[in-house]
Amino acid sequence: MVLKQGSLFIILSCAASLYQPLHATADESTDDLSSLAWDSASWDSTAADIPHVLTPARLHQATAEVPGSVTVLDADFIRRTGIKRISQLLRYVPGMLVAYDIRDNSDAVVYHGGPSILPKSFQVLIDGRAQYLAGLAAVSWEDLPVAVEDIKRIEVVRGPAATSFGTNAYKAVINIITHYPQDAFDDQISAQQGNNRDTYLYARTTGDKEIHHWRLSAKAYSTEHLRDSEDASIGCINPCDDNRDFAAVMLNTSHQLSDAQRLNTAFTITNSYRDVPDYEFSSNHVEANQFEASVIYEHDLSASHEIKLSAHATRFERRQHGVLESGPSGLFDPLLRQLDEINPEAADQFVQGESLTTLDTSNPEELALAQQLLARYGSDPAAFFIPISGNVLADTNERRIDLEIQDTVAFTDNLIMISGIGYRREQIYSKPFYDGYIDSDQFRGFGNINWRVSNRWALHSGVMYEYEEGGTDVWSGKLAANYLISPLESVRLVFSRAGRTPDMLEQRADWILVVDNAETQSPYAGVEYYDGFKGPGNLQPQIIHSLELGYFASKSFFGGNIEWDVKLFREELTNVIYHYPSIRLDTVNDGNEITYTGAEGQLAFTTQETAEFRLTSAWLRTEVDPTDDLNDSDLVALYAPRSHSASWFQPWPAQIFTQLSAFVIEDGRRVNRGDNAADLHTLELNLYRDFTSAETTTRLSFRAQRDFTTDTFKPDSEPYAQAVRFQISASVSF
């Protein structure tokens, strides 16, 4: 089947850093190996101004030589947008869709379409630390331990990168790189206030002593988010609370132990709270605490050989509490739960008041349970509905240790190999989701070779093998060839195969709903909901085969610079796993197939006066072959066939600056929703002025967003309570 339109997609905004150049010179290289990415300066006198990226091959490379498509959002661009949330910055990346998960009051981010709840399939890194949470098999965008003010750049690899970063980099990688503590930047305080009760506070201080440098920063924000007033459209029991609160403290240090040795550390502590719309339960909310510690040691064994050791530890505790008010106590009858474990269909028929046509009367245990239930409620159905009340808990406690050794060696100036091995251990305790304690050990080995055959050709090959406790293994590979018309212009052909192993929630879940402090007059009620869900335990990895043809160029143009990147792609996904996270879900479905074909383009023109115009477009066609019990929209609930954006950054006299962005996104859900589909037309403005003195720099900002259409983030296309949203902010650097 062909899914011409399926559900939202990419909010591609002001192309404003879409491909923001990083002009790296030899002086900016962190080590001798960095300069090996391009040393033929005699071929082009502008070689020192060649844009570079770091992420695709774990190597400092000229953009024209990179084996894939990369979007860079640098610190200047991030400041121009005025955006404070990482997920919202990703709207500027071609192919990325940022949507609102109304059932969890959180953001959902997908690349080239995907599920609307707990989307996965790309890796998110902060200074090398994975932000993927194994317990719920997703990234918690509201709990990322980083402030936008600390970010040096965000590099997004648009395409499989599993050969460098493993199974979670199945379709893309988002690499958030913060400033080194020794980078020269001032102490800062800032504050923002918005009409959606949005409050943001940030503070930073830095210091150094001889070879030691440090940066301590903290942020806090609180928002009512959408301030939705159309509760009926969402189906909440009470007015849909959507408060979000978050606070974080982050300490980064760097130590130059010698000319050849460096040690970097990072420590973060976060705390968050957010309301969850009331569906089955009232007073529903999520609290989370996270602690991270990271140590990275780098040693230059020679000018052409570096070894890097990294160790990351994470502790994440999530507590979701709701209140069950006057639910039917019969749903918590232990006899009904026993029947559900033997025959779920018969248990559901009993709950729905239907004849027990699926009952296996030849099974004496099953027959006895049915007879006892009929004896309790058959003559007195009201007994089934005696109310039960109490607290409902959905807690998870996670621990992760990740160790890795990476070896980088330049055999010649033109042949570099990056290889390594890694080990990760995940530990989870959750009574509701896993019925107790589970753990997992994973081992990985990888190798990537970059060979500049000549001034015209650059080749890349990579492989990653991963083995997970229990016998699940997967390998990923990549081959790429870049033909360099010049150091600033190239054509690339990239083939990738990547695998994603089933996550713990898909494979090993053992869901059970437990009522704490239960209150009821029923003599039959227990504390466990009758229905549950168990992961099948035998799912196999899903595989993607990706083919990409791309063109990159950066050239002088009318006294300024124009840079563009376009690609044609085809992605074939096989054995796709479908999992809608619900305690009432009976199975996890695999064996599905999805094929994405399309084109993405991004263009940036910087004038001689440093004004910038950026334009992006993406076209996507999706073919879905679901199994019998699914339909197309189940697999790609978030999807948009076409999306375009344009933006303009303009400096004005008196240190006044504006950035204006326009977005047009076609709602892919039209095929399923007809007239209820809601294309997105949005205009955003950020206006700010800088005041500088010998000691301080002060920035005053006004940011506004206007939605001209119904809200695509809500199931029934109701509008926001506020179609116009704005924020004012002030920051002082000293």
Angstrom distance (rounded) from CA 459 to CA 403: 29
Contacts of 480 (CB under 8 A, 6+ apart): 67, 68, 459, 460, 461, 492, 493, 494, 495
The four Cα atoms 322, 106, 221, 122 give a dihedral, to 10 degrees, of 130
Q: How confident is the model at residue 30 (pLDDT cuts 50, 70, 90)?
A: very low
Which DSSP string corresponds to 552-597?
EEEEEETTEEEEEEEEEEEEEEEEEEE----TT----EEEEEEEEE
> Residue 26 pairs with which residues in a beta bridge?
none
Q: Distance between CA atoms of 426 and 241, rounded to whole angstroms?
A: 33
pLDDT of amino acid 41: 31
Question: Is residue 548 helix, strand or coil?
Answer: strand
Q: Do β-strands 122-126 and 172-178 pair in parallel, antiparallel, or remain unpaired?
A: parallel
- How far is Cα 178 from Cα 148, in angstroms, rounded to an integer? 9
What φ, ψ does residue 20 adopt, rounded to 5°?
Answer: -60, 120
The model's pTM is: 0.88
Residue 610's pLDDT is what? 86
pLDDT digits (tens, 9 = 90+) for 642-681: 888 888 999 999 999 999 998 888 876 554 454 555 577 8
The Cα 653–Cα 650 span in angstroms is 10
675 token code pair: 């007239």
Q: Average pLDDT in the 146-162 region? A: 94
More confident: 56 or 491: 491
Q: How confident is the model at residue 2 (pLDDT cuts 50, 70, 90)?
A: very low
CATH of domain 2-326+393-733: 2.40.170.20
What distance separates the 2 farthest-apart alpha carbons in the chain? 93
Predicted pLDDT at 152: 94
Q: Is the model's pLDDT at 419 over the cut of 80?
A: yes
List all residues 6 or more positions away from 590 whose beta carbon is below 8 Å from its beta carbon. 502, 539, 540, 542, 575, 576, 577, 578
pLDDT at 34: 37
| pLDDT score at 241 | 64
Over residues 487-493, the mean pLDDT reads: 96
B/e letters for 402-413, b = 16+ CB within 10 Å, e = fewer, are: bebebebbbeee
Q: Would you place residue 197 in the very low, low, confident or very high pLDDT band (cuts 50, 70, 90)?
A: confident
Model pLDDT for residues 265-280, shown as the tens digit of each residue = 999 999 999 887 655 5
Q: What Å distances lie between residue 536 and 506, 508, 529, 530, 540, CA to CA?
A: 8, 7, 20, 19, 11
Q: Is the dihedral of CA 521, 524, 528, 533 positive or negative?
A: negative
Across 93-121, average pLDDT? 78
Q: How confident is the model at residue 437 (pLDDT cuts 50, 70, 90)?
A: very high
Structure token pair of residue 303: 């000018």
Higher pLDDT, 9 or 232: 232
157 near 147, Cβ under 8 Å?
no
Dihedral of the alpha carbons of 268, 269, 271, 272, in degrees to the nearest 10: 10
Tell me the pLDDT tens digit for each residue of 224-257. 765 544 444 444 545 556 788 999 999 999 999 9
Cα dist. 663→96, 386, 668 in Å? Answer: 13, 53, 15
Q: Residues 379-405: pLDDT tens digits? A: 889 999 999 998 888 899 999 999 999
Query: Residue 110's pLDDT is what?
Result: 85
Left (φ > 0), alpha (ψ -120 to 50) or beta: where does 278 sit? beta
> Residue 275 is which amino acid?
D
Predicted local distance difference test score (pLDDT) of residue 255: 95
Which residues pair with residue 105 across a beta bridge?
Answer: none
pLDDT tens figures, 689-727: 999 998 899 999 999 988 776 554 444 444 445 578 889
Contacts 24+ apart (CB under 8 A), 363-369: 366/339, 366/342, 369/335, 369/338, 369/339, 369/342
Most confident of 46-55, 301-310, 470-479, 531-540: 301-310
CA atoms in the 13 A half-sphere facing the CB of 729: 29
Return the pLDDT at 7. Answer: 33
Q: What span, in angstroms and rounded, lies between the C-alpha atoms of 245 and 655? A: 33
pLDDT digits (tens, 9 = 90+) for 509-545: 888 888 888 899 999 988 888 888 888 888 889 999 9
How high is the pLDDT of residue 19? 31
User: Is 315:135 a contact under the CB 8 Å cutoff?
Assistant: no
Q: How far is CA 584 from the centre of its chain?
A: 26
pLDDT reported for residue 579 = 80
The values of phi and psi at residue 542, to 5°, are: -95, 150
**pLDDT for 184:** 66
- CA-CA-CA-CA dihedral for 72, 172, 466, 145, to nearest 10: 60
What's the CA gap between 638 and 8, in Å, rounded? 5
SS3 assignment, position 68 = coil
Task: Answer yes or no: is pLDDT of 40 > 60.
Answer: no
Mean pLDDT, residues 179-184: 84
In whole angstroms, give the CA distance from residue 640 to residue 7: 6
Spatial distance between the Cα atoms of 4 and 298, rounded to a whole number of angstroms: 49
CA-CA-CA-CA dihedral for 154, 156, 162, 166, to nearest 10: 30
Mean pLDDT of 405-418: 95
Crossing angle between the packed helical segments 364-377 and 334-342, to the nearest 10 degrees? 150
Which is more confident, 421 or 138?
421
Determine the distance from the C-alpha atom of residue 34 to the mean position of all C-alpha atoms in its chain, rounded to a whole number.
28
* Domain spans of the chain, in order of start: 2-326+393-733
Q: For residue 62, what are the CA distances in angstroms to 172, 177, 552? A: 20, 18, 11
CB–CB of 128/650 below 8 Å?
no
Task: Give me the pLDDT at residue 262, please.
Answer: 95
Whether residue 158 contacts residue 68, with contact meaning beta carbons closer than 8 Å, is answered with: yes
CA dist list (Å): 720 to 230, 256, 275, 590, 716: 8, 52, 18, 36, 12
| Gap between the Cα atoms of 601 and 634, Å rounded | 28
Q: Is the pLDDT of residue 499 over 50?
A: yes
Higher pLDDT, 638 or 540: 540
* 3-state SS assignment for residue 505: helix
Give the Å distances, CA to CA, from 350 to 131, 533, 534. 43, 18, 21
